[in-house]
Amino acid sequence: MQLERILHSQGFGSRKLCRILCYDERVAVNGEICDDPSADFPTDHLTLTVDGEDWPYHEKAYLMLNKPAGYECSLKPQYHPGVHALLPSPLRERGVQNIGRLDEDTTGLLLFSDDGTFIHRMGSPKWKVPKVYEATTKHPIDAAQVKALLAGVLLNDETVPIAALACEAAGPHTLHLTLGEGKYHQVKRMVAAAGNRVEALKRIAIGALTLPEDLPVGEWRWLSEADLEKLRK
């Protein structure tokens, strides 16, 4: 593939701008400066360096973010910064989308991609991909609350009870709750219906993929092939 097309596909701007990057010797391919935007390169195991920053080639983008509080999961945020502001410009330029939403004050694992099939598979209620949340509660958690969440609780605007796929107390005020759907404020409303209150909420897993302990809050990273395999299970 021609270098200018590679750069364009990775989100480094228009084809014209990508040519200028090459002419200005701001692009290296696998460590070697290349000023010819028409030069052809195989994309397998290719690493670009643009303005001194390494950028491995990805035909499709799959990434995770450890979402901090205070950010909206929207391309057009209204009251707080959008989560896309936490991603580098090339990822925003190539049009990655957050998969599903977390409330502004909810933290934790959030996926992004520009692969429509993957976005649908991970985000559509049809597939019921399980999500695990860690809720910090105002009041101590007791066995009756856990039992109610597993049996199903009736929310104000619903006609049938909603049950957690799994639920366990991970501490006196810490609840791990697994859901197969994502209704508005669902965890908070379910915990309230069970007689408690959520003080803080964090998503710690999607499917078999858990939030890495070494991924700092507000930081992102590419999903590895092993990560993707966990999501496909």
Active site residue ranges? 103
Q: Based on the number of CB atoms within 10 Å of its own CB, is 174 exposed (0-12), middle (13-18) or buried (19 or more)?
A: middle
Please identify which residue in the block is written with the tokens 């028409």: 38
Residue with tokens 């195989």: 42
- The span from the CA of 57 to the CA of 30, in Å, is 11
Rg (CA), the chain: 21
Instruction: Please give the single-letter amino acid code of residue 183.
Output: K
| CA 178 distance to own-chain centroid | 17
Contact 178, 170 (CB under 8 A): no
CA distance 182 to 31: 44
Distance, in Å, from the CA atom of 171 to the CA atom of 141, rounded to the nearest integer, reads 8
Q: Which two tokens stand for residue 75?
A: 């391309």
Q: Which string of DSSP letters, residue by residue, matches 96-120?
A: -EEES---TT-EEEEEEES-HHHHH
Q: How many C-beta atoms surround the C-beta of residue 2 within 10 A?
A: 16
